[in-house]
Every structure is written in C-alpha cells, then in structure tokens.
C-alpha cells in the first residue's frame, strides 16, 4: 500500500497537487498488480459453481475433447471436486482410431484412469515418454512456428489427461518445463534439429530430476539409517523403497514395518518388493499404528508434493502417521525430489484434493458385496479421498537432492529454483 503524506502548506501549491495525483496513480497500479498476483481459483476445485463448469465445457468443446461426467453422490464437504467412475472411461466418447488425440496420449490417459500407472514419479515419467512420442510424430504445418504451434498442440492433450485423472504437482512442473523449452526454441532452428533438441531435453530432465535425484537422496538418507533401526514406511513410495533397498545393499541392519490402508492397499506392493530383496518386514494396517509405534525408531515418508508453506501433501493417512509419531517422539523424515516442490499454499486437505471412484470402497467377500446398492440409500455417501496435507511441525527433516533441509526452508528452495531458471 501507499501512504499519503500530506504536507501542511499554507496554500495549494503544485507540489501538493502532484503528491496527491502520484499517490492516486500508485494505488491504482498497486491494486492492479495485486489482482494479477492473486491467481484465480483453478477450475478443478470449483465443480459446484455452474458458471465455471460451463466455461470448462466450452473450452473442452473447442479443443474437441469429450467432457467426463461426475458419478455418484458426493459428500457435501467435497462437492466442489470432481468424482469419476472407473467403469465409465473417457475413451467411450472418443472415436476408436483416435485422430484428435495422439494414440500414446490416449493410452496414457487410460493407464492413469485405471490406475496402471500410479505414483507421482511413475506418472511423470510416463507423461514425458508420451510427450516424446508426440514430438517425434509432430510436423510443423506451413506458415507456423514450431515454438508456438507445438505448445498449442499440447494443450488439448493436457486437458484430456486432466479429465482422465487430475494432474499431479510433479506432472504440472514437468509440463511447465517442457512448455518453456519449446518456447525457447529459436525460430530459425530447423525442425529436425529442434525435435532432437527437445527429445534430449526431456531425457536430461528425467535423468537429472528423477533418476539422479533418487541416487542423491538415497546417499543422504542412508547416513540417517543406523544398524538396529526399525523403520516405518506407509503405503508405496518409489523413492522410500529405493532408499531402503540401497541401504540394505550397503549392509545396514534394519527391519521395516509397512503400514497399509484401504482401499488402495498399496503397501502390499511395497512389501513384496522389500521382501523380494531379503529385507525382513512386518505388515500392519493403519488401525494398528499406535500399537506398533513404540517399536519404531524412525519413520520414512514419501511425498506427492511439498507446498510453499512447508506442508507435505501425500497419500491420505500420512498426516495421521506423522501425528501419532510425533506423540511417541519418533522422528519423521520426508523424502522428496525438488521437482515436486509446488508454489501452492494449502493448510487443510479440503480445498484441493482428489476424489477417487467411490465404488472402490465396496468389498466382495464370499460372493456377497455389502455396499452394493449404496446409491439407493439416500443418507449414505461414500468418500474415497486420495491426498492429505501434513503440517510442518510434525515433520522433522526433509531429504531432497539438494540436501537435508527443515520443512520451513521449502520457499527458499523454490526461490533458488526460480532464480536458476
């Protein structure tokens, strides 16, 4: 804001008028800048606003992407989010030899919506792989520049993937990077050269931000694992699994407790991979957490994204684990690559989240499905949340490829990253 200092002058002078005019202009300009800086709410958290939904439908129609309709009764607290059914894929509204959308993007969208590619690292790598195919098959139309046309080509694909499954923070950062790289292609560059350059950029991004970052994080994390440790992990995090396998190879003696939760039961896959290496593991469900925690010496958690105010966004249940661990004074270490750092600020799990298919909560045992007709019961709503946020006071350390930092240093890292770019 501006402060207007009024000088008491005995008569109106030009200085007085000039000061007032300048202060008025600066207020207007500051107000304008303020509006620019405050971003509008993204449309995927405004599903209960019909104007926003109409705008989205119009945009999709322009891009020739079908609109996926919401499914089932939504719990009122989360009615501002999308809820899709896995049994109604987006492909039933598309033509079969897909001409509008590149085939590898259609395949990717299917794999996202069916959960075949799950986990933020896997999703980002698959996305970049599909983009490589798109770039390889791309030809610049006449009178167009590659740097602008390719970005416009990618926009409907991104909308399509968003409809199949909401984009993750890591995917968003990867897309931003690619768009920047494409726009930076000089206009006199030949098409073949430009394409090879883009493909190598993508390869380098994956190599640096995902593969090498995992190696660096393992190196730091292994310093924190000592012999005789009992490590608790939650669900499946590719990074944490990587760390534990490498620590085991470096002959650290530890055992692992895998905590799992319904409906995804991803811990079973984590358990399988750890046991395959020969690590001794225990498996519990999250309801047994306070029973098992007295045995635990450290908790390693993976993250889906790290928000700008230090909150950790991860699979639903993580904040529970962090809370109970804090109660038992067990150190909580979060492992996260820097490309998952996000500029969003969130303090609760309600505003921005993802609602998965509510039918996943139905279980069939001995041929009987208990909740089969849940839609008929008017007072019953099924909620299948995917993410939750953990406050930084429950997290003791964040291990990133830049080193081991406290949770509150995340904005510093973001600022350094922006300066680099």
Partner 1 sequence: MELQAVLMAAGGGSRMMDLTYNTPKPLLPVGNKPLIWYPLNLLERVGFEEVIVITTKEVQKMISTDPKVKLDVKMKLDLVCIQEDADMGTADALRHIQQKVKTDVLVVSCDLITDAALHEVVDLFRAHNATLSMLMSKAHEFTETVPGQKGKKKTGEQRDFVGVDGTGKRLLFMANEADLDEGVVIRKSIMRKHPRMHIKTGLVDAHLYCLKKSVVDFLADNKSISSIRGELVPYLVRKQFSKSTNSPKVIDETHQNLKKNDSNISSRDEELLHLTQERSCWNDHRGDMSDAYHGGRLRCYVHIMDEGICYRVNTLAAYIEANRLAPKLFDEPAVHPSAVVSERCLIGADSIIGASCQISDKTSIKRSTIGVSTTVREKVKVTNSIIMHGVTIEEGCNIQGSVICSNAVIGRGADIKYCLVGSAQRIEPDGEHTTASPHLMSKACSA
Q: Is 129 in the site for partner 1 (CB under 8 A)?
A: yes
Applying CB under 8 A, among 272, 345, 347, 403 the residue interacting with partner 1 is 272
Kindly list the distances between the CA atom of residue 379 and the CA atoms of 82, 273, 306, 375, 382, in Å, as whole numbers in the listed order: 20, 41, 36, 9, 10
Applying CB under 8 A, among 83, 111, 318, 352 the residue interacting with partner 1 is 111
Report the candidate in 395, 388, 420 with the shortest Cα–Cα distance to residue 304: 388
First to last CA, the chain: 30
Applying CB under 8 A, among 238, 282, 309, 409 the residue interacting with partner 1 is 238
Applying CB under 8 A, among 45, 52, 81, 126 the residue interacting with partner 1 is 126
Q: Is 236 in the site for partner 1 (CB under 8 A)?
A: yes
The gap from C-alpha 166 to its chain's centroid, in whole angstroms, comes to: 9
Helix (H, G, I), strand (E, B) or coil at 213: helix
Q: Is 266 in the site for partner 1 (CB under 8 A)?
A: yes
From 59-67, 202-210, 389-397, 405-413, span contacting partner 1 (CB under 8 A): 202-210
Q: Which residues contact 328 (CB under 8 A, 6 or more apart)?
A: 290, 293, 294, 296
Judge contact between 361 and 263, C-beta under 8 A. yes
Applying CB under 8 A, among 23, 46, 63, 133 the residue interacting with partner 1 is 133
Give the nearer residue to partner 1 in terms of CB position, either 166 or 392: 166
Q: Is 301 in the site for partner 1 (CB under 8 A)?
A: no
Q: Is 268 exposed, middle or buried (0-12, 13-18, 19+ CB in 10 A)?
A: middle
Q: Is 211 in the site for partner 1 (CB under 8 A)?
A: yes
Contact positions with partner 1 (CB under 8 A) in 18-47: none
Q: Is 86 in the site for partner 1 (CB under 8 A)?
A: no
Q: Report in angstroms how near the CB of residue 242 gets to partner 1 at its nearest.
A: 9
Element (H, E) at 204: helix 191-206
Applying CB under 8 A, among 11, 14, 76, 92 the residue interacting with partner 1 is 92
Q: Is 276 in the site for partner 1 (CB under 8 A)?
A: yes
Q: Cα(255)–Cα(316) distance, rounded to whole angstroms?
A: 24
Structure tokens at 419: 């300066």
Q: Which residues contact 19 (CB under 8 A, 6 or more apart)?
A: 4, 5, 6, 7
From 19-27, 127-135, 252-260, 344-352, span contacting partner 1 (CB under 8 A): 127-135
Q: Report in angstroms how near the CB of residue 180 gets to partner 1 at its nearest.
A: 21
Q: Is 85 in the site for partner 1 (CB under 8 A)?
A: no
Give the nearer residue to partner 1 in terms of CB position, either 54 or 272: 272
Q: Report in angstroms how near the CB of residue 108 gets to partner 1 at its nearest.
A: 9
Give the nearer residue to partner 1 in terms of CB position, either 246 or 396: 246
Report the candidate in 342, 123, 153, 121 with the shortest Cα–Cα distance to residue 241: 121
Give the nearer residue to partner 1 in terms of CB position, either 196 or 370: 196
Q: Is 206 in the site for partner 1 (CB under 8 A)?
A: yes
Structure tokens at 39: 């971003």
Find tokens 């190879």 and name the residue: 249
Q: What angle do CA 178, 41, 150 make, to 5 degrees?
A: 25
Q: Is 139 in the site for partner 1 (CB under 8 A)?
A: no
Applying CB under 8 A, among 122, 245, 323, 351 the residue interacting with partner 1 is 122
Long-range Cβ contact pairs of 321-329 (< 8 A, separation 24 or more) = 321/232, 321/234, 321/259, 321/286, 321/289, 322/390, 322/394, 322/395, 323/394, 324/289, 324/290, 324/293, 325/232, 325/293, 325/296, 325/299, 325/394, 326/393, 326/394, 328/290, 328/293, 328/294, 328/296
Q: Is 249 in the site for partner 1 (CB under 8 A)?
A: no
Applying CB under 8 A, among 46, 63, 79, 91 the residue interacting with partner 1 is 91
Q: Is 262 in the site for partner 1 (CB under 8 A)?
A: no
Query: What residues line the site for partner 1 (CB under 8 A)?
Result: 89, 91-92, 94-99, 103, 106-107, 110-111, 114-119, 121-122, 125-126, 128-129, 132-133, 136, 203, 206, 210-211, 236, 238, 266, 268-270, 272, 275-276
């Amino acid at each position: 804001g501006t402060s207007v200092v009024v000088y008491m002058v005995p008569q109106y002078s030009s200085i007085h008028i000039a000061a007032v005019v300048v202060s008025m202009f600066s207020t207007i300009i500051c107000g304008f800048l303020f509006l620019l800086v405050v971003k509008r709410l993204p449309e995927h958290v405004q599903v209960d606003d019909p104007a926003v939904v109409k705008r989205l439908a119009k945009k999709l129609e322009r891009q020739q992407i079908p609109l996926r309709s919401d499914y089932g009764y939504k719990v009122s607290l989360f009615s501002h989010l999308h809820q899709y059914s896995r049994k109604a894929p987006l492909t039933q509204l598309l033509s079969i030899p897909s001409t509008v959308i590149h085939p590898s993007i259609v395949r990717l969208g299917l794999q996202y919506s069916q959960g075949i590619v799950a986990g933020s690292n896997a999703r980002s790598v698959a996305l970049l792989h599909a983009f490589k195919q798109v770039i390889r098959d791309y030809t610049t139309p006449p009178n167009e520049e590659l740097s602008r046309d390719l970005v416009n080509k990618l926009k409907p694909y991104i909308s399509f993937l968003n409809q199949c499954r909401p984009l993750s923070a890591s995917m968003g950062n990867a897309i931003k990077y690619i768009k920047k790289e494409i726009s930076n292609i000089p206009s006199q560059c030949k098409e073949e050269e430009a394409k090879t350059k883009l493909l190598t950029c993508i390869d380098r991004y994956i190599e640096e931000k995902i593969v090498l970052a995992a190696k660096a994080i393992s190196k730091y994390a292994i310093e924190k694992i000592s012999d005789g440790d009992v490590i608790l992990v939650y669900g499946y995090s590719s990074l944490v699994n990587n760390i534990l396998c490498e620590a085991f190879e470096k002959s650290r003696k530890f055992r692992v407790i895998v905590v799992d939760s319904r409906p995804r039961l991803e811990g079973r896959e984590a358990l399988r991979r750890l046991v395959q290496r020969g690590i001794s593991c225990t498996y519990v469900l999250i309801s047994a957490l306070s029973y098992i925690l007295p045995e635990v010496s450290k908790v390693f958690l993976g993250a889906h994204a790290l928000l700008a105010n230090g909150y950790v966004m991860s699979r639903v249940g993580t904040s529970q684990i962090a809370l109970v661990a804090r109660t038992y004074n067990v150190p909580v270490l979060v492992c996260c690559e820097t490309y998952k750092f996000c500029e969003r600020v969130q303090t609760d799990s309600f505003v921005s989240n993802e609602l998965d298919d509510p039918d996943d909560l139905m279980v069939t045992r001995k041929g009987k499905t208990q909740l089969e007709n849940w839609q008929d019961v008017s007072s019953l709503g099924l909620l299948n949340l995917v993410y939750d946020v953990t406050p930084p006071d429950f997290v003791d350390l964040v291990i990133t490829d830049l080193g081991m930092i406290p949770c509150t240093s995340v904005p510093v890292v973001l600022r350094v990253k922006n300066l680099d770019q």
